[in-house]
Structure 1
Amino acid sequence: MIFKDIVNRDIVNLQNCEDEPIHIPGLIQSHGFLIAIDATTHIITVCSENINTFIDLTYEKLLGKKINQIFNAEFIDELFLNNEELPNQAKVFNFVINEKLFSICTHLSGNEIIIEGEPTENQFNESNILYNSSKQLLSYIEDSFTLKELANSVAIAIKKITHYDRVMIYRFDENYNGEVIAESKEGFLESFLGLHYPHTDIPVQARELYIKNHLRIIGDVNYTPIPLYTYTDSNLHTLDLSLSVLRSVSPIHIEYLHNIGVGATLTISLLHKGKLWGLITCHHYSAKYLSQEIRNTVKLHGHFITSQIDVRLLNEEYEIARKTNKAVEKLVNKELSLQRNSIELLFKDEAVINLCNSIGVSAIIGKEVYRLGKTPSIEDIKRLSSFLCHYSNNGSLTTQSLARISSDISVIANEFPGINYHSLGNDQDCIIWYRLQTITDIYWAGDPSKSIEKDKNGLSPRKSFEKFTESVKDSSKVWLKSEITASQNFVNFFVMHLRAILLNEEKENQRKLSEILKETNAELENINWISTHDLQEPLRKIRMMASMLVGDEKENLPENVQQKIIKMQNSAERMQTLISDILKYTKTTAQNSDFEDVNLNVLLNELNSELKDTLEENTATLDITSLPTIKGINFLLKQLFSNIIYNSLKFKSNKRIPHISIRESFEKDSILNSGNYYKIEIEDNGIGIDNQYSQKIFKIFSRLNDKNEFSGSGIGLALCKKIMTKHQGIISADGKIDYGVTIKIYFPKTN
């Protein structure tokens, strides 16, 4: 059998360290052993080179063997106990091998079960210490109020449990720069409390591993890495050690630890809402190992901190939240009129500034700009509003450093870096709260711009951790969650008040329009009266005189004069018809008759009798089949069908006898498919129309033919459209030139 190591030999330096595959080093720390077995066959596929140090067998003897050939039945039973229930969970148990106690940790990695063993023993009278520390967790809740107070209590407790020289609790910012918020240390050591560490100290892939594996221990930074071996037939090239407790450390990180003089470390992940919130980091200045029981207790303390994060942050903000809510409550309870001047009164109240602890506030409502406190100029407010409206997609935006968002508004950002912007949802209408610049000193553990140093040997992690002070000038105090919530609550109230003002203004406009409409209707009545009497009377006299001239005096008049008088008589008749049709058209809108049941069969039979002479004069036939009963206004419906029939007779074809049919149609279309309408079709065989004009024929005064060839006012079908609108129905036309037209009308089944 041929053996090979799976050590990752890619060259790693500070230029490519962010791409270093730290989860597959192919190496482990030297204080324990590692075996990997195939999850299906239980054959040992990977073994650490130092295995013989712990169980008197070399890796060559183990690789390719089944696990039950190496360990006794008791070990095998413990190894696979409950594995089916928790296949992806790490399992830890103590077991004696060759009369020595080991802490055994197992977990699944791909198709391999990884088994890690570390020699262990009872440390520091750990039973009593662990019991007492567990009891103390509850007392932390009573003895601490803020998150920093809680973190400080936990740091002290962990130092007592582990005996590390220094215990620190880090908190990350949004860019993963770390700040030491709590520390417990030996008296002779320099304090790191309050120092910041750049995000480059913990690269991205390391942060990802902290999320997967919540505890990381390096017992001796000067250890010699132990290679992992496999055999060629296993087809294994790498082994994912993301969850391994013995995984070897990146050489760059080892160099970093050497630079700060640390001999051993313990790191616990602090996760909050699925993200790496911070770390508990323990430093010892010589080699140090911990039992599994102590590690678990430290992890418990870490979980306790993360479980309290939201509660403690709320505690810290409680007093601020109380004041901001009081300011909002004062504004909400103000007695405001529904007039525009109430907005100005609202933005004269200091509570608008105090509700989120700002230095000033501005509001843009339409063309008006309201200001209170320290704000940019009106012109700059409009510029800022336009920018933030587009940048936030007409939403909201809160920042402590406006300059980091855009350099286009640097003049505003230099004086007012703190912005709390809320759109009011209408163009550029918005409310903006402002904060002035604050100069903040940040203390770094070494110059963050020199986190990588270059010397004769090339690039290396920084060697200097001397306190470095950085003054941040382009930002304001951070907007707290309670302040943002208070401003949002005020915005919600203000939007409702603004809508009430607009509704009140709309109501007033409606009242004025109603008065104008009454006056207009009164004038329309006067016009109707004039049309009915004053205009009709002269036309009747003109027609009467013309009739007398072409009647009694006809023989005494030249023929050309007779023709002119006849034309005058016809023009007067058309004028009289036009006036009559206009009156019908206007009355259709003004008519307020109630809807009633109308049997269309009865109505059409009556109309057929009334049109008998007209049909005979045109040698036309009219067929009426069974029709439904609908809700409508009887005389308007009679006018509707009368106009359509007259229109068919007017545009009859000289090539055939006029024929008109009226029927209920059940042929499906998009309207009839809804099931809410009756469909009536009036079909003729006249001259037809081009369908591109099928909508135009329903417009008032619209004509498709020469008025000298076809008489009429151009109102007939427009009146039909208006009648159908009044009945909440639909009318359309479908025609073909020289074949005829089908008028389709749809009446709602309930009205």
Structure 2
Amino acid sequence: MNFRNITNRDIVNLENCEDEPIHIPGLIQPHGFLISVDFQTNIINVCSENINNYIDFTYQQLLGKEIKTFFNNTFLSEFNIFKKDTATPFKAFNFSINERLFSISLHHSDNAIIIEGEPTENQFDKDNQLYNSSKQLLSYIEDTSTLKELCNSVVLAIKNITNYDRVMVYRFDAEYNGEIIAESKEEHLEPFLGLHYPHTDIPVQARELYIKNHLRIIGDVDYKPVELFTYNLSPIKTLDLSLSILRSVSPIHIQYLHNMGVGATLTVSLIHKGKLWGLIACHHYSPKYLSQDIRNTVKLHGHFITSQIDVRLLNEQYEIAGRVNAAVERLTSKKLAFNRSSIIELFNEKSIVSLCNSAGVSALIDGELYIYGETPNNEEIQLLGDFLYNYSDNGRFVTSSLSHITSNLKSISEAFPGINYYSLGDETNFIIWYRTPTIKDIHWAGDPSKSIEKDTKGLSPRKSFAKFTENVKDTCKPWLEAELAACSNFFNFFQIHIRSIIINEEKENQKKLSEILKETNAELENINWISTHDLQEPLRKIRMMASTLLRSDTKNPLPENVHNKIIRMQNSAERMQTLISDILKYTKANVDAPDFEMVDLHNLLIQTKEEMNDTLNDTNASLKIEPLPHIKGVPFLLKQLFLNTIYNSLKFSSPERDPIIVIKMEKDSIDEISKSGMYHVIEVKDNGIGFNNAYKEKIFKIFSRLNNKSDYSGSGIGLALCKKIMIKHQGFIDATGTVDKGATIKLYFPKN
């Protein structure tokens, strides 16, 4: 049988390392062996070249054979249990081969089960020590309150368990740059605590593997990789070693560790909410191997950290939440008047910035700017408000670095990178809290801009890890959830308070308008009194004196020009009395009407016609009244309504023909209102001079005229009075006309 290795020989360098398939190297570390068994056939299809260093068979003897050929029933029993239990992704157990104890690990990979074996031994009284360290996890809950305190306790415990030279907790930020937040080390070593590492140190595909496989060990960075072999007839080209313990490491990472001077490493993933939150990183400066039990104990400590992340972060924010909520309570519990001065009162309180630990706050309300603390100038505030209203999706926006959002507000973002914005409905009404820059020194383990270096041999990972200090100015301290919640609570209160002020202002305006209306009504009552008494009496005297002068001396008649002037004076006084009478009628129509009653329009019009007989006879007019319905209304007002429409038709009759006026109920609906069936439609149609329909709206306005007042008598109030009466009856009035042919006035009365 012929054999071939499955080593991945693609050339990998720093220019394409992000594409390196590190999960299928086809190589393992030499401190153990690897066998891959086909899931369906139980045939060994992959085997590490070094298998004969651990058992009495070579890879050539194993490949293509069933696993039962080489392992005893005890081993096969464990194997078959794992194979049947598909819900369990990983299994570990101890097993002796030729009186040598091995730690055996099983896991699934595609259509295979991978078996890894490592020699194990009792390392520095592990049983007692591991038990005590696991028991100590419970004490960490009582002995520590913050996340950093917990991490410090854990790294000290792991160092005692493993005897590594250095143990660290490495935390990622949003861009996967790392920071050492806890460290336990040998005294002679340089401290790494507080140092930052750029995201390029751990490529994307490496971070993905850390999520899948939570523990990674390199016993000796100078190891010689062991090749994996398969037989020629096997379809296998690569083997996914994502979950492998022995998987060989990228040569670029090995070079990186060489540059750091590290001899062995152990890394445990810290997974929080499905993401890589950080790592426990253990360094030793010479080769070092750990048993499976010790590694599992380290993993347990890592799981304990991740289980406590939310609790510890909440504890750290608890005191902050208490302070900011107290500030909100101080503001929202104030007894504020519902006026604009109360906004000034709010913005004179320090609590308005301490509720979210901001440097300043500004609010623009109906063009008025309110400010507390450090803020941009007035023009910049309005400019920022316009930008944020258009930039934000729902009228709310928060950032710790305004310059990352826009480069157009440079002066604002330099002075106030932290922005917490709330819109009050539009771009002209808003509230913004500001934070000044947190000018901080970030200490990097080497210059992050030189993560790749070039030397005589070409490109390589950086060789210098000397402390490099970067000064950061364009960001502020991050806004905490408790602070943002406090802002949101105050904003809701503030929004309600502003609305209350507006409602109160509207009430005050209504009150003022009501007072003005009362004064106006009182003045109108005075005018009515004057019109009824003081104006009527002089007009009567003027008319009486004019009549006396015209009849005084028939033997010596007045000169014609004087006679004509007296007649004009008498006519003017008569018109004035008519105007005063119409004004009185118009104002009466504005007074609240008594309760409606059912009115027989037909009988009402018959009575009205009888009262107008003399007028109709004098003008040779005919008034035809067809059957009309019963409606709800006020008889007096309805009588005034029809009298004014009839007199209007008589007034504007044609000199070429006798007036004909027809009052009837419309039966053939031609407009949408009539078709709705909700109204009784009464027509008052005449054959007078008519009018141009372009002016139809004008005829219902008080004192409006379409004709010369010298040609037609009247005050111009009649149809305006009709409109008022129709409004009183919850209906409306309309008119159409044809010049020289006549006009039709339509009255719409509601049926119910």
TM range (shorter): 0.7 to 0.9
Q: Which residue of 1 aligns with 2:460?
A: 460
Structure 1 CA distance, aligned partners of 2:251 and 2:638? 95
Matched, 1:383 2:379: yes
Q: Which residue of 1 aligns with 2:81?
A: 78
Residue deviations 1:55-113 (CA, integer Å, cap 9, x gap) = 866699659x9x99999985675345453xx5xx7343549698866211126xxxx44
Does the 8 Å CA contact 1:695/1:732 hold for their aligned counterparts?
no
Give the superposition deviation at 1:343: 4.9
Structure 1 CA distance, aligned partners of 2:188 and 2:226? 32
Does the 8 Å CA contact 2:649/2:661 hold for their aligned counterparts?
no
Query: Aligned partner of 1:78: which letter?
Result: I
Structure 2 CA distance, aligned partners of 1:140 and 1:748? 84
Q: Which runs of 5+ in 2 are unaligned?
A: none
Question: Which of residues 48, 54, 76 is equivalent to 1:50?
Answer: 48
Give the SS at the match of 2:168: strand
Give the superposition deviation at 1:447: 1.0
Does the 8 Å CA contact 1:689/1:741 hold for their aligned counterparts?
no
Give the superposition deviation at 1:196: 0.8
Question: Which of residues 613, 619, 626 is equivalent to 1:622?
Answer: 626
Residue deviations 1:229-277 (CA, integer Å, cap 9, x gap) = 799997x988876666666654433432332233444433334445433
Give the SS at the match of 2:463: coil
User: Which piece of structure 1 moves more, 391-400 or 542-551?
Assistant: 542-551
Gap change, CA 1:574 and 1:172, over 3 Å in 2: farther
Give the superposition deviation at 1:382: 0.9
Gap change, CA 1:237 and 1:390, over 3 Å in 2: farther
Q: Which residue of 1 aligns with 2:606?
A: 609
Query: Aligned partner of 2:512: which letter?
Result: K
Q: Which residue of 1 aligns with 2:306?
A: 306
Q: Which residue of 2 aligns with 1:181?
A: 181
Q: Which residue of 1 aligns with 2:148?
A: 148
Structure 1 CA distance, aligned partners of 2:684 and 2:432? 68
Matched, 1:115 2:113: yes
Matched, 1:103 2:109: no
User: Which piece of structure 1 moves more, 135-144 or 687-696?
Assistant: 687-696
Structure 2 CA distance, aligned partners of 1:509 and 1:165? 79
Gap change, CA 1:298 and 1:593, over 3 Å in 2: farther
Q: Which residue of 2 aligns with 1:440?
A: 440
Query: Aligned partner of 2:301: which letter?
Result: H
Aligned runs of 1:313-352 on 2, under 5 Å?
313-332=313-332, 340-341=340-341, 343-344=343-344, 347-352=347-352
Residue deviations 1:679-723 (CA, integer Å, cap 9, x gap) = 444468889999998877766677889999999877667656655
User: Which piece of structure 1 moves more, 702-711 or 496-505?
Assistant: 702-711
Does the 8 Å CA contact 1:25/1:248 hold for their aligned counterparts?
no
Gap change, CA 1:359 and 1:256, over 3 Å in 2: same
Query: Aligned partner of 1:167: which letter?
Result: V
Structure 2 CA distance, aligned partners of 1:457 and 1:491? 61
Does the 8 Å CA contact 2:46/2:228 hold for their aligned counterparts?
yes
Aligned runs of 1:164-243 on 2, under 5 Å?
164-211=164-211, 213-218=213-218, 221=221, 222=223, 224=225, 226=227
Gap change, CA 1:432 and 1:622, over 3 Å in 2: same
Give the SS at the match of 1:463: coil
Does the 8 Å CA contact 2:50/2:226 hold for their aligned counterparts?
no
Gap change, CA 1:707 and 1:486, over 3 Å in 2: same
Structure 2 CA distance, aligned partners of 1:670 and 1:286? 102
Structure exhibiting the larger radius of gyration computed from Cα positions: 2
Does the 8 Å CA contact 1:49/1:59 hold for their aligned counterparts?
no
Give the SS at the match of 2:48: helix
Residue deviations 1:187-224 (CA, integer Å, cap 9, x gap) = 45432111111122233444455445544455555453
Does the 8 Å CA contact 1:679/1:744 hold for their aligned counterparts?
no
Structure 2 CA distance, aligned partners of 1:611 and 1:3? 123
Give the SS at the match of 2:449: helix
Gap change, CA 1:213 and 1:368, over 3 Å in 2: same
Give the superposition deviation at 1:397: 5.5
Q: Which runs of 5+ in 1 are unaligned?
A: none
Structure 2 CA distance, aligned partners of 1:638 and 1:230? 115
Structure 2 CA distance, aligned partners of 1:514 and 1:413? 50
Does the 8 Å CA contact 1:644/1:717 hold for their aligned counterparts?
yes
Structure 1 CA distance, aligned partners of 2:643 and 2:83? 94
**What is the number of equivalent residue pairs in this alignment?**
716
Give the SS at the match of 1:392: helix
Q: Which residue of 2 aligns with 1:138?
A: 138
Residue deviations 1:630-657 (CA, integer Å, cap 9, x gap) = 6x76655676788789989999999999
Residue deviations 1:487-546 (CA, integer Å, cap 9, x gap) = 555555555555555555544444333322221222233344455666777888999999
Structure 1 CA distance, aligned partners of 2:499 and 2:680? 46
Give the superposition deviation at 1:446: 0.7
Residue deviations 1:460-504 (CA, integer Å, cap 9, x gap) = 221111122223345555555545555555555555555555555
Give the superposition deviation at 1:732: 8.0
Gap change, CA 1:603 and 1:10, over 3 Å in 2: farther
Give identity over the alignment, percent. 55
Gap change, CA 1:341 and 1:667, over 3 Å in 2: closer
Structure 2 CA distance, aligned partners of 1:250 and 1:689? 98
Q: TM-score, normalised by structure 1?
A: 0.72
Structure 1 CA distance, aligned partners of 2:725 and 2:262? 94
Aligned runs of 1:593-604 on 2, under 5 Å?
593=593, 595-596=595-596, 598-599=597-598, 602-604=599-601
Does the 8 Å CA contact 1:620/1:657 hold for their aligned counterparts?
yes
Q: Which residue of 2 aligns with 1:515?
A: 515
Matched, 1:660 2:664: yes
Gap change, CA 1:739 and 1:341, over 3 Å in 2: closer
Gap change, CA 1:345 and 1:244, over 3 Å in 2: same
Gap change, CA 1:23 and 1:252, over 3 Å in 2: closer
Does the 8 Å CA contact 1:34/1:51 hold for their aligned counterparts?
no
Residue deviations 1:102-132 (CA, integer Å, cap 9, x gap) = 211126xxxx445332215666466655544
Query: Aligned partner of 2:466: which letter?
Result: E
Gap change, CA 1:512 and 1:81, over 3 Å in 2: same
